[in-house]
């Protein structure tokens, strides 16, 4: 099997501040993040010849190039499906580098998701799209499934029914994330850990999801520089190897509302991503020193533990009940930046940068001896993932 393993490396990462009101345009946030990532790598805009982002990003590649005076682009690409695109932007960049299409590619995502269009609210524009996505959404919106929390609640309730997982098990994800965010000065919830009692007392958003089961709405931007391993080793930072990169869409796939499958309480597309990652890298879930698991809603973290092979089907509840299992020093530290629940919701891109920091030894919640880790992208949608190493 031909793979991308060790054909490209992450050489730089950058981000803006994370807030609820950035006071800047989304284009400025994108430009700031890209410039910060290039500075981190010891490169300049003149070195860049490729840009990758999300279809949902309002900042088209040529606008970012103009803002930063990037002279020429040999490669530009966009990935669909919201947060499911996060790791795939790095995959696309790695493919361009590995095939010689481009030399230095920057993946970016920037938005004013709190002060601008709030993704957590009802968005009728999704139904009004004159395309197949609009048709898909039109099946569910008339029944009140108009918010991400509402769509996930259906999956979460079925998962609880089939596995015996409880709301407190979901809460353990939030508690672990917020414990890590409390140590991260860049996190919105820096210095603000929570208890399981806090989680249970938070208001209900869409039964069984409490407020503290739901990720933030954030303003901010993140960027990642990808180049060849040969060039990366001569740059400013310790290179992070891309050991595997994959995308996945499963049978009867919808965007957030895959309710027509035989098995409702699972994420088969993430299982598909995992299978590819393990095959490409020659590793397994048990070889990971930690994981950054996409946590826009806590129930999906439990499902990922199962679909990626960290534990058997139905046993994630037991996995997370082990005291401290998900925190630094535990069985599988997750989301050591605080995740999207604790640091910021930037469609998973900040999870990739945390993976890079861990492998450089620069995390605020450093996992001792971290040498290889998993990063996943959005759940409930066609998705993607990475295995990174040193």
Q: Pull the structure tokens for residue 19.
A: 């807030």
Q: Is the dihedral of CA 255, 259, 262, 267 positive or negative?
A: positive
Residue 70 CA: distances (Å) to CA of 28, 45, 126, 183, 231? 15, 5, 33, 36, 19
Give CA–CA dist 63/231, Å, rounded.
27
- Cβ–Cβ < 8 Å for 48, 11: no
Q: What angle in degrees, to the nearest 10, is found between the helix axes of 298-307 and 268-281?
A: 50
Residues 310/332, Cβ–Cβ less than 8 Å: yes
Nearest to 40 by CA among 292, 349, 356, 344: 356
CA distances (Å), 253 to each of 28, 132, 180, 260, in order? 35, 13, 33, 9
Determine the distance from the C-alpha atom of residue 352 to the mean position of all C-alpha atoms in its chain, rounded to a whole number: 7
Question: Would you name the residues annotated as active-site residues?
Answer: 294, 345
Tokens of 162: 């089939």
């Amino acid at each position: 099997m031909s793979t991308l393993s060790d054909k490209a490396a992450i050489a730089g990462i950058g981000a803006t501040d994370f807030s609820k009101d950035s006071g800047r345009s989304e284009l400025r946030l994108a430009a700031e993040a890209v410039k910060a990532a290039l500075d981190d790598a010891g490169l300049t805009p003149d070195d860049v010849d490729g840009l990758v982002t999300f279809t949902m990003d309002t900042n088209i590649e040529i606008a970012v190039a103009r803002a930063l005076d990037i002279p020429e682009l040999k490669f530009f690409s966009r990935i669909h499906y919201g947060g499911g695109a996060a790791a795939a932007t790095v995959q696309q960049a790695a493919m361009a580098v590995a095939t010689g299409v481009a030399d230095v590619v920057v993946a970016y995502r920037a938005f004013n998701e709190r002060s601008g269009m709030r993704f957590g609210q009802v968005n009728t524009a999704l139904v009004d799209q004159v395309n197949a996505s609009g048709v898909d959404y039109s099946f569910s919106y008339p029944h009140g499934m108009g918010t991400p929390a509402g769509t996930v609640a259906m999956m979460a309730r079925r998962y609880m029914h089939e596995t015996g997982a409880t709301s407190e098990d979901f809460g353990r994800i939030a508690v672990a994330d917020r414990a890590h965010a409390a140590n991260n000065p860049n996190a919105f919830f820096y210095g603000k850990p929570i208890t399981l009692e806090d989680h249970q007392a938070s208001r209900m958003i869409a039964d069984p999801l409490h407020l503290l089961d739901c990720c933030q709405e954030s303003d901010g931007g993140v960027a990642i520089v990808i180049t060849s391993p040969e060039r990366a080793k001569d740059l400013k930072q310790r290179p992070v190897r891309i050991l595997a990169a994959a995308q996945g869409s499963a049978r009867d796939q919808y965007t957030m509302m895959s309710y027509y499958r035989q098995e409702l309480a699972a994420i088969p597309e993430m299982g598909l991503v995992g299978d590819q990652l393990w095959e490409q890298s020659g590793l397994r879930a048990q070889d990971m020193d930690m994981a950054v698991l996409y946590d826009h809603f806590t129930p999906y973290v439990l499902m990922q533990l199962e679909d990626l092979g960290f534990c058997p089907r139905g046993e994630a509840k037991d996995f997370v009940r082990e005291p401290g299992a998900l925190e630094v020093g535990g069985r599988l530290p997750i989301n050591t930046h605080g995740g999207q629940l604790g640091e910021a919701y930037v469609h998973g891109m900040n999870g990739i940068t945390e993976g890079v920091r861990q492998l450089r030894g620069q995390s605020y919640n450093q996992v001792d001896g971290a040498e290889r880790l998993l990063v996943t992208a959005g759940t409930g949608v066609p998705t993607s993932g990475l295995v990174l190493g040193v």
